Amino acid sequence: MSDTIVALATPTGRSGIGVIRLSGEGSIAIGRSLTSRQEFSPRYSHLVSLTHPSSTEVIDEAIVTYFKAPNSFTGEDVIEISCHGSPVLLRQVIDVCLAQGARMAHPGEFSLRALANGRMNLAEAEAIRDLIDSQTVASARQAVRQLRGEYSHQLQPIKDELLDVIVILESALEFVEDDLPETQSESIKLRLGDLVKEIEGIAATFKAGKLIRDGLRVALVGRPNVGKSSLFNALLGSDRAIVTEIPGTTRDQIHERFTIGDIPISLIDTAGLRDTTDMVESIGVERSRRTMADADIVLVLLDAAEDLTAEDEQIIDSVRDLPHLIVLNKSDKPAAISVADLTSAFARKASNLWETQTALIVATSAKTGSGLDHLQQAIVEPFASQDASSNGFLVTDARHHDLLVRSADEVLHSIELLEQHQSEEIVLIGLHNALRYLGEITGETTTEDMLTRIFSTFCIGK
């Protein structure tokens, strides 16, 4: 018998309603002990007075809904109690549930039980987590697709095809004395080659999928006073960071989130980079350097109204091997440097300093807002997916991506072994691995249906 778990299903804090969820065999008994009601009809809302079991004190008026096993989210008896959303009250109700024999649920434990009871597969359970965590409409949409079983939908034909090939090779192993006939071996190689393309095609959507789910970390760096905090505020559309004309205003980093199109952006304002004897500022400078290394893209700000300084050059040099953009800010002021000047400076120095790439340069004014659209496009462009083959379904999870890549590698390796005329036994190892990796995405064990498939091709009596 599984123990009964309880948790608050809505966020902590004050709200109109707060929902407490119980799952397990003891749920219904706990529901009874909290109310004067003895029977709950499944899937009906019952308006009840919640009372403390040890006294007759009424705690709240609530709606109780009973989901009878196995027709519930977890597959067990589930009771949902919708109370008024007072943290004090909700705590009290949970305490009563605990006193009546429930225990606090671990994170994700309701979904885990749903998985254990076959109510959903692993990819679907992961989709629930992603849906709750999603930061944009696009990532929520992907999670819903995955939740509705689209993974199985995408992977099933691939798994079927892989199984077919496995069956042929297993049968050959069993019945054929010599090697596979050349024609059959050729056709198997072709079929496996197509499979590799299909698996790799799905895996390739991860670039776009990761982008809409996790987004990008974008760091603003530059020497003091070039307008990092001003640009930070302008991109967010709020006066979040302190801006003054005093160099060294920003001491600590500030993170804020916003979106560019469908892509969540975590924007980081940093302390201006310079040699300083000020203790606090130098810690800030050290942090800025670390942030640069961790960012998906670094925006190096320059002041368009001042000549390039040695500090600017040092900063540009330090991001040379990192993905970065050069932002020529304060472009509303009379220009001391222009995009054209900088481009030719880069070209001149191409042999030594900025040799690896022609940096993209964008002119902006944090003051007037000019160039901000262009900058936003330039930030996301290198990450946007060029591949349109995905029919809209995207792999968003690194675990799934890893399994797809490993699966494709195994199939590729098997093709190589076939080409070397290795025995079916050896070729099959990789194909079984590939199938297992695909099965791990949805969390199923494929062994049993594989056996059924294989034996169904055997003749009676064998």
Ligand X SMILES: Nc1nc2c(ncn2[C@@H]2O[C@H](COP(=O)(O)OP(=O)(O)OP(=O)(O)O)[C@@H](O)[C@H]2O)c(=O)[nH]1
Q: Which residues bind Mg ion (CB under 5 A)?
A: 228-229, 249-250
Among 200, 313, 332, 402, binds ligand X (CB under 6 A): 332
Q: Which amino acid would we find at residue 206?
A: F
3-state SS class at 53: coil
Rounded Cα–Cα distance for residues 325 and 119 (Å): 48
| Residue 34 and residue 96 in contact, taking contact as beta carbons nearer than 8 Å | yes
Location of structure tokens 């029977």? 39
Q: How far is the CB of 281 from ligand X (least distance, A)?
A: 9
Rule CB under 6 A: which of 339-398 touch ligand X? 365-367
Q: How far is the CB of 327 from ligand X (least distance, A)?
A: 10
The reply to whether 276 sits near ligand X by the rule CB under 6 A is: no
The reply to whether 291 sits near ligand X by the rule CB under 6 A is: no
Scanning 11-19, 93-101, 159-167, 243-251 for contacts with ligand X by CB under 6 A, the matching segment is: 243-251
Q: How far is the CB of 234 from Mg ion (least distance, A)?
A: 12
Q: How far is the CB of 252 from ligand X (least distance, A)?
A: 10
Scanning 226-234, 385-393, 401-409, 432-440 for contacts with ligand X by CB under 6 A, the matching segment is: 226-234
Rounded Cα–Cα distance for residues 65 and 43 (Å): 6
Scanning 151-159, 163-171, 242-250, 255-263 for contacts with ligand X by CB under 6 A, the matching segment is: 242-250
Helices (H), 118-227: 122-133, 137-147, 150-175, 182-204, 206-214
Q: Measured over all CA atoms, what is the biggest interatomic distance in the chain, rounded to whole angstroms?
A: 92
Does the bond joining 70 to the residue before it have cis omega, within 30 degrees of 0? yes
Report the partner that residue 447 touches, choosing among ligand X, Mg ion, none (CB closer than 5 to 8 A by kind): none
> Structure tokens of 95?
């305490």
| Residue 40 and residue 81 in contact, taking contact as beta carbons nearer than 8 Å | no
H or E element in which residue 83 lies: strand 78-85
Q: How far is the CB of 10 from ligand X (least distance, A)?
A: 40
Report the partner that residue 244 touches, choosing among Mg ion, ligand X, none (CB closer than 5 to 8 A by kind): ligand X
The reply to whether 101 sits near ligand X by the rule CB under 6 A is: no
Residue 317: phi and psi, rounded to 5, are -65, -40
Q: How far is the CB of 221 from ligand X (least distance, A)?
A: 9
Rounded Cα–Cα distance for residues 335 and 303 (Å): 9
Q: How far is the CB of 268 from ligand X (least distance, A)?
A: 12
Report the partner that residue 18 touches, choosing among ligand X, Mg ion, none (CB closer than 5 to 8 A by kind): none
Location of structure tokens 């969820």? 21
Q: Strand order of the sheet with strand 15-23?
A: 45-51, 58-67, 78-85, 15-23, 5-8, 103-104
Q: Strand order of the sheet with strand 324-329?
A: 254-260, 263-269, 216-221, 297-303, 324-329, 360-363
Q: How far is the CB of 249 from Mg ion (least distance, A)?
A: 5
The reply to whether 330 sits near ligand X by the rule CB under 6 A is: yes
* Residue closer to Mg ion, measured from CB, 48 or 220: 220
Q: How far is the CB of 229 from Mg ion (least distance, A)?
A: 3
The pattern of x and - marking residues 246 through 265 that bind ligand X according to CB under 6 A reads: -xxxx---------------
Report the partner that residue 94 touches, choosing among ligand X, Mg ion, none (CB closer than 5 to 8 A by kind): none
Residue 429: phi and psi, rounded to 5, are -55, -50
Which residue number places its CB atom closest to ligand X?
272
The reply to whether 284 sits near ligand X by the rule CB under 6 A is: no
* Residue closer to ligand X, measured from CB, 73 or 232: 232
Rounded to a whole number of angstroms, the CA Rg of the chain reads 30
Residues that contact ligand X, how many (by CB under 6 A): 24
**102, exposed or middle or buried, with CB in 10 Å at 0-12, 13-18, 19+?**
buried
* Residue closer to ligand X, measured from CB, 97 or 315: 315
> Structure tokens of 110?
């309701």
3-state SS class at 319: coil
* Residue closer to ligand X, measured from CB, 130 or 303: 303
- Residues at the contact surface with ligand X, assessed by CB under 6 A: 222, 224-230, 243-245, 247-250, 271-272, 329-330, 332-333, 365-367
